[in-house]
């Protein structure tokens, strides 16, 4: 590669910012996404994201299920340009029932934005998602939303984030009042004060007042008796608060905090401006054989999500590929390593905020969609030549189980195909017991089961139902101690199954039985997460 080409590659990579928003449902993720796109110039009108969501929901029956319940299960990617950067925003399904998919989206990002409702503080869903970020050391920026409503005091919110999420907070803006007394936000870095005026809809407002310092008498003119409160707060923060450290943020140890009100467009610009400066560009990613750097000339990428029903007329499925290194150009021949075949990719898609368009060129950090007719699985690696296998795309041990019951026995072939494909897509986990021909489904959230029944009916014309099954928890089994493994298999055969990747799993009837098994077989690893593709490793316990 010529040095001019490698320079272009590097220039393109350092201006990429790929991130996901994490929040508990209702904290304001959709609103903030929309406002980021509005400030980023990617959409002209507020309401577009919500309207598009509504339109998408109308495209299929199982999506009608989402609409009925007022939740969002579909992940999308939105790309826009801002301040010289190319921003890839990965939307994550917020409902806890879809957390496995949400978790995987977090493996494709370089940083995350945490949205917290000022009135509710840290909520359950946020905790789970933060665990994934912490596991990966993902840098997190925090936006405390809904300051226009009465909420918890800012110091309490930060203390809660620190205690519950285990990450230090460093405020970069500080609110003046809240609820009906919300007057604006003070910028701790510049000493500017942004005054708040409610501005719903698309109007980009915000009066910025540059004050000399906190003793500036104009502060009293603007804020009345709240000026004194602000002075006290800032003094306290400067004495006892955490100073922002870029290094600690990038290491995932500290989160810079912003206060605002997404629905009122307040605090969003500061957030976006800071984001493009502070958030990391694509970094190196671990593959089984080595670390892969984004500015390596050869293309490589990994599939982190498969989405069906993007276009119902074509019954297509889209494999979402995070580019890990190099440059993608239309028509490029890529090696699909697991399948052992080459693919000329002429019809990849890039997801612009406004639309999906054919992609001519994309760089490390970008997400492209490759149409799939079933051959591509989550965790698959594509590259130009080198047989890489990216690691770190996890499967999570399911928490709920059902046995599938087929209503029309003549459809057993279709059922088999449907369940295998849906499992490959990551919509559900499929287990086949060693001792029977049953299909056991495992899910992280209950709603997934309903989605599967609807999709089996709609896409595979299979009428199926569920039966309860006495399984409470599952663990993947790994061991290099062949003797112990053989004995374990003999003794626990009735509760053993193979998942869709033929990895051995123990489907435990109760937590105490699991505990007993663990005590009895100390050299066996009972894993709650499994890396997709891990069964290919030599120590795995293929049955």
Binding site for ligand G4P (CB under 6 A): 23, 25-31, 94, 145-146, 148-149, 261-264
Considering the complex, state which of residue 1 and residue 45 has its C-beta at the smaller distance from ligand G4P. 45
Q: How do beta strands 525-527 and 473-478 pair?
A: antiparallel
Considering the complex, state which of residue 113 and residue 302 has its C-beta at the smaller distance from ligand G4P. 113
Considering the complex, state which of residue 23 and residue 372 has its C-beta at the smaller distance from ligand G4P. 23
Among residues 30, 14, 252, 281, the alpha carbon closest in space to that of 142 is found at 252
| Min dist. Cβ of residue 127 to ligand G4P (A) | 15
Considering the complex, state which of residue 92 and residue 309 has its C-beta at the smaller distance from ligand G4P. 92
| Min dist. Cβ of residue 51 to ligand G4P (A) | 11
Considering the complex, state which of residue 26 and residue 463 has its C-beta at the smaller distance from ligand G4P. 26
| Min dist. Cβ of residue 115 to ligand G4P (A) | 7
Q: Where are the alpha helices (DSSP H) in 367-501?
A: 412-425, 447-460, 482-492
Give the integer Cα–Cα distance in Å for 100 and 174: 34
Q: Indicate the SS3 state at residue 202.
A: coil
Considering the complex, state which of residue 254 and residue 264 has its C-beta at the smaller distance from ligand G4P. 264
Considering the complex, state which of residue 179 and residue 297 has its C-beta at the smaller distance from ligand G4P. 179
CB contact at 8 A, 393 and 104:
yes
| Min dist. Cβ of residue 263 to ligand G4P (A) | 4
Q: Where are the alpha helices (DSSP H) in 179-225?
A: 218-223
Q: What angle do CA 249, 254, 258 make, to 5 degrees?
A: 90
Helix (H) or strand (E) run with residue 367 in it? strand 367-372
Considering the complex, state which of residue 96 and residue 395 has its C-beta at the smaller distance from ligand G4P. 96
Q: Indicate the SS3 state at residue 362.
A: strand
302's CB contacts (< 8 A; 6+ apart) are 108, 285, 321, 322, 324, 379, 380, 381, 382, 390, 393
Q: Phi and psi for 531 in degrees, rounded to 5?
A: -80, 135
| Min dist. Cβ of residue 207 to ligand G4P (A) | 18
Q: Count each helix (H run) and each strand (E run) in the chain, helices first.
A: 15, 33
| Min dist. Cβ of residue 49 to ligand G4P (A) | 9
| Min dist. Cβ of residue 85 to ligand G4P (A) | 24
Query: Is residue 426 packed enough to be buried (19+ CB in 10 Å), middle (13-18) or exposed (0-12)?
Result: buried
| Min dist. Cβ of residue 23 to ligand G4P (A) | 5
């Amino acid at each position: 590669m010529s040095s001019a080409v490698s320079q272009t590659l590097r220039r393109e990579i350092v201006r990429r910012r790929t991130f996901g928003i994490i929040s508990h449902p209702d904290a304001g993720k959709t609103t903030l996404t929309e406002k980021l796109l509005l400030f980023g110039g990617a959409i002209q009108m507020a309401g577009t994201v919500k309207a598009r969501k509504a339109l998408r929901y109308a495209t299929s029956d199982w999506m009608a299920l989402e609409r009925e319940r007022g939740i969002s299960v579909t992940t999308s990617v939105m790309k826009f340009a801002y301040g010289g950067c190319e921003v890839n925003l990965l939307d994550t399904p917020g409902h806890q029932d879809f957390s496995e998919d949400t978790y995987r989206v977090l493996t494709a990002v370089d940083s995350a934005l945490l949205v917290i409702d000022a009135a509710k503080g840290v909520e359950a869903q946020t905790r789970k998602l933060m665990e994934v970020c912490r596991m990966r050391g993902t840098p997190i920026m925090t936006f405390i939303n809904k300051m226009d409503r009465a909420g918890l005091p800012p110091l309490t919110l930060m203390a809660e984030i620190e205690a519950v999420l285990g990450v230090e907070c460093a405020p970069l803006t500080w609110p003046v009042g809240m609820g009906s007394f919300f007057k604006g936000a003070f910028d701790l870095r510049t000493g500017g004060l942004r005054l708040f005026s409610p501005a719903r809809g698309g109007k980009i407002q915000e009066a910025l007042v540059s004050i000399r310092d906190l003793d500036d008498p104009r502060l009293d003119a603007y804020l009345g008796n709240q000026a004194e409160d602000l002075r006290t707060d800032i003094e306290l923060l400067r004495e006892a608060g955490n100073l922002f450290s870029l290094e600690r943020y990038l290491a995932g140890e500290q989160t810079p905090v912003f206060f605002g009100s997404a629905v009122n467009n307040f605090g969003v610009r500061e957030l976006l401006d800071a984001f493009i400066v502070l958030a990391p560009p694509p970094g190196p990613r671990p593959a089984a054989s080595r670390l892969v750097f984004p500015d390596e000339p050869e293309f490589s990428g990994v599939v982190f999500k498969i989405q069906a029903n993007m276009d119902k007329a074509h019954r297509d499925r889209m494999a979402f590929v995070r580019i890990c290194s190099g440059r993608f150009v239309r028509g490029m021949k890529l090696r699909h390593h697991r399948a052992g075949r080459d693919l000329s990719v002429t019809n990849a898609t890039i997801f612009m905020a406004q639309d999906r368009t054919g992609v001519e060129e994309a760089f490390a950090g970008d997400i492209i969609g490759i149409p799939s007719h079933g051959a591509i699985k989550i965790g698959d690696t594509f590259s130009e030549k080198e047989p890489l296998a990216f690691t770190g795309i996890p499967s999570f041990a399911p928490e709920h189980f059902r046995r599938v019951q087929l209503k029309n026995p003549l459809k057993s072939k279709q059922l088999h195909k449907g369940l295998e494909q849906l499992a490959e897509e990551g919509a559900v986990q499929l287990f086949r017991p060693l001792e029977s021909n049953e299909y056991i489904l495992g899910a992280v959230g209950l709603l997934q089961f309903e989605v599967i029944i609807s999709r089996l009916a709609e896409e595979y014309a299979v009428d199926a139902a569920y039966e309860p099954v006495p399984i409470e928890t599952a663990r993947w089994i790994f061991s290099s101690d062949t003797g112990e493994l053989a004995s374990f298999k003999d003794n626990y055969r009735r509760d053993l199954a193979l998942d869709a990747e033929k990895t051995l799993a123990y489907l435990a009837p109760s937590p105490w039985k699991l505990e007993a098994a663990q005590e009895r077989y100390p050299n066996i690893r009972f894993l709650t997460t499994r890396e997709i593709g891990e069964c290919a490793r030599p120590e795995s316990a293929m049955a």
